[in-house]
Amino acid sequence: GPLKEVLFFPTEVACIEHVFNPDSPFPCPCSLPHGVQTSFSRLLAHILSASSSLDVCMFAFTSMSLSRAVLALQTRGVTVRIFTDVAYILITGSQIGAMRKAGICVRSDSGAVHMHHKFAVVDGRRLITGSLNWTMTAIQSNKENVLVTEETDLVQPFIAEFKRLWDVNDPA
Amino acid sequence: GPLKEVLFFPTEVACIEHVFNPDSPFPCPCSLPHGVQTSFSRLLAHILSASSSLDVCMFAFTSMSLSRAVLALQTRGVTVRIFTDVAYILITGSQIGAMRKAGICVRSDSGAVHMHHKFAVVDGRRLITGSLNWTMTAIQSNKENVLVTEETDLVQPFIAEFKRLWDVNDPA
Ligand SMILES: [Zn+2]
Ligand SMILES: [Zn+2]
């Protein structure tokens, strides 16, 4: 059947360089454990699997490693769109400014209420959703879940919701 | 295939009395719209479908209507267990005290980090998970999602996570 995977956090602590540089001939010199697959390395791998598009709908986005993954996709020519909560764009450590500087299209909800979603869709096909905001506290400390699936009945409603939020909040 | 449903919030505003009293011969006298199925009435119906057990793993729980649903299950003889964040038990409007008074078993995480999950498992078979805390702000105001499924590959990991958190935090 289609992909169905559940990841729980906090993640184990381990080096994630291999996710970014799978073909590197050099061993990583850092002091973290290597060769360990963790919830976080799985999450990064799902995001980095994008070949054509990544739509991110995320309440809080401060994680440098997730920012690195998104910027790597943008550099690779993947079409990235980010929808976020207006109140969280300016918080300390927000990666949204860096996204905009890199030329990524960012939109936000103008309302007074929270845009509390935490999901992403890879290539219009793979849904990543759950309780996890893209912050280091969520990844390294909190009890969190992330569900990854390519079940069409689950993915399509999220694609429609992203399109709706994106279109309604067109600044043009 | 197995149940797969996605609900988005904020919900439409409509009367939910029919979910609690589907067989009532009396028309509801309240001024809200009637006969309307909403994301919230669907969520309540999934919870109220429990016939043997309800396991709730919820960061914030202040909604009176969700509290009413859980208490109705307890009255009906359904085995209810609630796992929650220790910091949120005492906030204004928390329903956790009412749950305990009703004889429902409640456990919480003792750590300094957030128990940020927002999921429930009905009858060990139906998973309800997403971004939505069980609060009126989440239900009526925020942009939120809830995914409901009986896909075994998705449900089983959440059952195992609940068991793990429940067992680790046994106060006895
Ligand atoms: Zn390393
Ligand atoms: Zn009514």
The partner residue sitting opposite A149, judged by closest CB among B1, B154, B158, is B154
Q: Which of B116, B117, B143, B167 is catalytic?
A: B116
Q: Report how far residue B129's alpha carbon sits from residue B150's, in angstroms, rounded to the nearest whole number.
A: 11
Asked if residue A29 has pLDDT above 90, the reply is: yes
Q: Which of A18, A118, A153, A167 is catalytic?
A: A118
B110 in contact with chain A, both atoms CB, cutoff 8 A: no
- The whole-number average pLDDT for the span B58-75 is 96
Q: Which of A46, A116, A117, A143 is catalytic?
A: A116
As for the ipTM of the complex, it is 0.94
Q: Which residues pair with B57 in a beta bridge?
A: B83, B119
**Residues of B19-34 as b/e, b for ≥16 C-beta within 10 angstroms?**
beeeeeeeeeeeeeee
pLDDT in tens, B34-60: 989 999 999 999 999 999 999 999 999
Our answer to whether residue A85 is catalytic in this structure is no
- The whole-number average pLDDT for the span A43-64 is 97
A37 in contact with chain B, both atoms CB, cutoff 8 A: no
Our answer to whether residue B123 is catalytic in this structure is yes
3-class SS of residue A32: coil
Q: What H or E segment, with its residue span, contains residue A156?
A: helix A152-168
DSSP class per residue in chain B: ---EEEEEESPPP---HHHH-TT-SSPP-SSS--S---HHHHHHHHHHT-SSEEEEEES-B--HHHHHHHHHHHHTT-EEEEEEEGGGTTSTT-SHHHHHHTT-EEEEE-SSS-B--EEEEETTTEEEEES--BSHHHHHTSBEEEEEE--HHHHHHHHHHHHHHHHHT---
pLDDT in tens, B105-122: 999 987 778 899 999 999
- The two three-digit tokens of residue A152, written as one number: 């069409």
Q: Which residues of B touch A131 (CB under 8 A)?
A: 59, 116-119, 129-131
A55 in contact with chain B, both atoms CB, cutoff 8 A: no
Q: Report how far residue B154's alpha carbon sits from residue B125's, in angstroms, rounded to the nearest whole number.
A: 10
Our answer to whether residue A116 is catalytic in this structure is yes
Considering only residues 62 to 101 of chain A, which have any Cβ-Cβ distance to chain B shorter than 8 Å? none
CA distances from A94 to A121, A158, B116 (A): 21, 24, 20
Domains of chain B plus CATH, in order, are 4-10+39-168 (3.30.870.10)
